[in-house]
Amino acid sequence: MTTTTATSPVLEASGVTMRFGGLTAVRSVDLTVNSGEIVGLIGPNGAGKTTFFNCLTGLYIPTEGKVSYKGTVLPPKPHLVTNAGIARTFQNIRLFANMTVLENVLVGRHTRTKEGLWSALLRGPGFRKAETASRERAMELLEFIGLSHKADHLARNLPYGEQRKLEIARALASDPGLLLLDEPTAGMNPQETRATEELVFAIRDQGIAVLVIEHDMRFIFNLCDRVACLVQGEKLVEGTSDVVQGDERVIAAYLGTPFEGAPGDEEVAEVEAAESGSGAQSTTSKEGSAQ
């Protein structure tokens, strides 16, 4: 829907392969994300989407292939990847459960602050200034995702949808150039999913490229400039929403069941579509044991 003119690549993954013993979870996948783009990554459960994310962010060291961010090849170390400018969320929420909402976001600021042990012990003016700045930025982000009123709650006490949002805020705190979202609307109700769509658009409008894994097709096709479909570790199709949507192999890959939530049907049965969307999620995710 949006065609960006400036197309300098933010992320370039080429020939990424990940083998676990005999299992090839990701097979020679190439993917490019350009600045200002929202790219979707779809595929049935166990297709290797999360594994691909882990290869991009250094949590796994890819067996083959290389990943570069804005032209420089990334070392396979998670903290260096984040430092370079790629932030992510997790499919199974991984917040710091016993830290407050604000503290979670403050941890996200880690790469953009410098204060070490000595400065913490001596508490000079520099320390105070940096701490205040961090807090201000964190509160700004909480305002952005609409959680500032819960800044002092423990992360574990938030409802599910807000936990997902908080993960996004925590990722944004590292001022990334590329945000990787792993099933950001999983477990959300239709309204929350809509709100998340708006949120992703707002993030893109801040100049942050987004690569998103999602099972909710309505979400994906509303949102993404380009969509890639991964099946059994291989990239099957890549293209605009229309191309991928019409591709028979994609439909077949999703267990042969044509999904009902296509944007064309929207006006007819919006609620039904959303419900069957989340219903499909719950059935597909049962066997999912992603990292």
| 14, β-bridge pairs | 66
Tokens found for residue 258: 């044509």
| 210, β-bridge pairs | 38, 179
**Binding partner of residue 95 among ligand ADP, Mg ion, other proteins, none, CB cut-off 5 to 8 Å per kind:** other proteins
Q: Using the rule CB under 8 A, is 10 a contact of other proteins?
A: no
Q: Which residues in 53-112 contact Mg ion (CB under 5 A)?
A: 91
Q: Using the rule CB under 8 A, is 153 a contact of other proteins?
A: yes
Q: Using the rule CB under 5 A, is 211 a contact of Mg ion?
A: no
Chain residues binding ligand ADP by CB under 6 A are 20, 23, 25, 43, 45-51, 288, 290-291
The span of 24-32, 114-122, 195-203, 236-244 binding other proteins (CB under 8 A) equals 114-122
The span of 33-41, 185-193, 194-202, 248-256 binding other proteins (CB under 8 A) equals 185-193
| Shortest spacing between CB 228 and other proteins, in angstroms | 21
Among 161, 195, 232, 251, binds other proteins (CB under 8 A): 161
Give the count of beta carbons closer than 10 Å to the beta carbon of residue 227: 27
Measured from the CB atom, the residue of 26 and 158 that comes closer to other proteins is 158
256: exposed, middle or buried (C-beta count within 10 Å: 0-12, 13-18, 19+)? exposed
Strand intervals (E) in the chain? 9-20, 23-34, 38-42, 64-69, 72-73, 86-88, 178-182, 209-213, 226-231, 234-239
The values of phi and psi at residue 225, to 5°, are -80, -35
Q: Using the rule CB under 8 A, is 262 a contact of other proteins?
A: no
Interatomic CA distance for residues 109 and 172, integer angstroms: 9
**Residues lying near other proteins in the complex (CB under 8 A):** 57, 59, 78-79, 82-83, 87-88, 90-99, 103, 106-111, 113, 115-117, 119-121, 123, 127, 130-131, 134, 153-154, 156-162, 170-171, 174, 183, 186-187, 189, 278-279, 281-282, 285-286, 288-290
